[in-house]
Chain A
Amino acid sequence: MSTALLTDLTIFILALLVGIEVIGKVPATLHTPLMSATNAIHGIVLVGALLIGLSAHNAVGYILAFVAAVFASANVVGGYVVTGRMLKMFRRKEVRPEPGQPGLDQVNGHKGIKGFAGRIGIGRTQS
């Protein structure tokens, strides 16, 4: 067994253990975004697809390189964008509709202050 292979295997095993440790801490709420984020991460195979280009010099090589590049780049870009889209939706508090709470209107009565107060959370009832 060569040193290079031994190194690769060591890295693989350690990464597996790190993965188990890190992923185990992800809450169930985020499992779907987690899965799509890991989806984007395995798009790193794009590097492998691009490296085919180093030695490709005939139709077979070009076709394989092309298909692999299409697959892997769709994986990277799509995975990243859709994960971002999902995570943007996760909010701690409900976003109030623009004019603010009806109650707040009556208390403040002043548009400018109400807008500002709403933004920094002043006057918001704890529920």
Chain B
Amino acid sequence: MTGFTGYIQLVYVLTAALFVVGLHLMNSPATARRGNQVAMAGMVIAGIATFVLLIHDGTVTTTGWIVLITGALIGSAVGLWAAQTVQMTAMPQLVSAFNSVGGGAAALVAIYGYYDAESRATGVLGSTTVFTVLDVLIGSVTFSGSIIAAGKLQGFIPGQPIIFKGGRLLNIGLAVVAIGTAAFLFGTASLPALFIVVLASLAFGVMMVLPIGGADMPVVISLLNAFTGTAVAMAGFVIQNWALIVAGALVGASGSILTKLMADAMNRSLANIIVGGFGTGDSAAAIAPAGDAQVRSIAADDAAIQLAYAQKVIVVPGYGLAAAQAQHGVAELAKVLEERGIEVSYAIHPVAGRMPGHMNVLLAEANVPYPQLVEMDEINPEFARTDVALVIGANDVTNPAARRVGTPISGMPILDVDQARSIIVVKRSMGHGYAGLDNELYVDPKTSMYFADAKKAMSDLTSAVKTLVGA
């Protein structure tokens, strides 16, 4: 490493350090914005250093410059547009799309490296490393897998698990082809073989995500995030760049931690999720029906009375809330209650929403102060001294059946909603949750069911409370 390139490498080291500091600042909502900016400062100096390197080297052709600059401008414009127009409910799709392009770009870096080395006199064999191959493999899987994940979340592709006969066998076949061909590349220089690796990996990515159901998406997105990070780190090994290695490792660690948190919150192993979701048929039969217990249904006025004369209310939001776009309605209702001096907080289950922390962002958008959003472990002891637990669009995460053995959700950590003095469940119908089983909470004598669309229910409740208290 001589003079000039040494200095450039130093800049990349600084970039890596800024990434770490930036992520460190993300540990509190108060400093998180600064963290994002610090990380981006690292990105900007890395970009500048790279341009300086390109200019200094002088081997970039005119066409090369045009290609790079138009490419970067088009990409930036698309990224900017997507980031500014995206709805907060659609965040998981966007994150998935960014995973996709990140993994794709990492794979392209390695593919070009291979292609370029092959055309040189020295040959490609000496420079084909396990990193090149891993980069191509992981990057391609991430690229196609994330597209499918985004498609499922956006609704282009049906959200239910898509399973067909022989699918699992096909998956294994594709993995064998991809890994086998990759191994072959170490002994023989062959561009067509590299293409086979790319195609098999792309197909594997598609096949891996198709059988996974919508509610498992928090796990899948986290996993693909970890994949992207790993692919970028591998690209860093290929081009011997520390900024890429460190950034990739950080993202890989972050994605892995989130994957584990999400899988734990569902009490399911990663393998179980990848192999196929709930609702595949055999799991629903395992539960004992709740028998002759009656469901009690109430209307807005009665629910409003319960809420207006409570001292402490806990709102339990689930994905149904986001799907009905009711987050603003809930915040409005909470405001009216708070003005009456009622203590309102929100119980956030780790897998509420379609990605880690999704519910927090949706409620933050509706202006709910973040200290009111309480994590599961912290809020569970609070339910016992809560007058009304208002469950909106959440199902499986409130089902007391999870505490017993022998149900499909046994062992899953749940919110102890049934400990509250009374419970109001806002739900469109008695339909099942994702796990396909009856929710025992609904037949609890303390529970009243309020059948309505969440958004409409919130505005009706708000006006009913207002009428009641004469505000």
Instruction: Flag whether B285 is at the interface (Cβ < 8 A).
Output: no
Partner of B109, one of A31, A68, A78: A68
Chain A interface size, under 10 / 10 to 19 / 20 to 34 / 35 or more: 35 or more
7 other contacts beyond A11-B245, A39-B99, A50-B72, with CB at 8 A cut-off? A28-B356, A32-B358, A41-B43, A46-B50, A64-B108, A72-B105, A90-B364
Partner of B76, one of A54, A55, A66, A77: A77
Known contacts: A34-B357, A39-B225, A66-B67. The answer to whether A74 contacts B370 by CB under 8 A is no
Residues of A within 8 A of B357 (CB): 28-35
Q: Which residues of A (50-75) have their CB < 8 Å from a CB of B?
A: 50-57, 60-62, 64-75
Q: Do A47 and B20 touch (CB < 8 A)?
A: no
Residues of A within 8 A of B75 (CB): 69-75, 77
In the complex formed, the residue of A with least CB distance to B257 is A23
Q: Do B250 and A41 touch (CB < 8 A)?
A: yes
Known contacts: A35-B95, A75-B98, A81-B79. The answer to whether A47 contacts B26 by CB under 8 A is no
Q: Do A127 and B338 touch (CB < 8 A)?
A: yes
Docked CA distance A53–B68 (Å): 7
Q: Do B67 and A53 touch (CB < 8 A)?
A: yes
Instruction: Flag whether B19 is at the interface (Cβ < 8 A).
Output: yes
Instruction: Flag whether A48 is at the interface (Cβ < 8 A).
Output: yes
Interface residues of B (CB under 8 A from A): 12, 15-16, 19-20, 22-24, 26-30, 32-33, 35-37, 39-40, 43, 46-47, 50-51, 53-54, 57, 59-61, 63-65, 67-68, 70-76, 78-80, 82-84, 86, 88, 91, 94-95, 98-99, 101-102, 104-106, 108-109, 111-112, 115-116, 221-222, 225, 228-229, 232-233, 235-258, 261, 335, 338, 341, 348, 350, 355-358, 360-361, 364-365, 367-371, 373, 375
Q: Do B356 and A78 touch (CB < 8 A)?
A: no
Interface residues of A (CB under 8 A from B): 4-5, 8, 11-13, 15-20, 22-57, 60-62, 64-95, 127
Known contacts: A22-B24, A82-B86, A87-B32. The answer to whether A48 contacts B102 by CB under 8 A is no
Docked CA distance A105–B54 (Å): 62
Partner of A37, one of B22, B79, B243, B256: B22
Q: Do B65 and A82 touch (CB < 8 A)?
A: no
In the complex formed, the residue of B with least CB distance to A86 is B361
* A31 nearest CB across to chain B (Å): 3
* A98 nearest CB across to chain B (Å): 14
Can you report 6 A-B residue pairs in the complex whose CB atoms are below 8 A from each other?
Answer: A12-B236, A30-B27, A42-B248, A82-B94, A86-B88, A87-B32
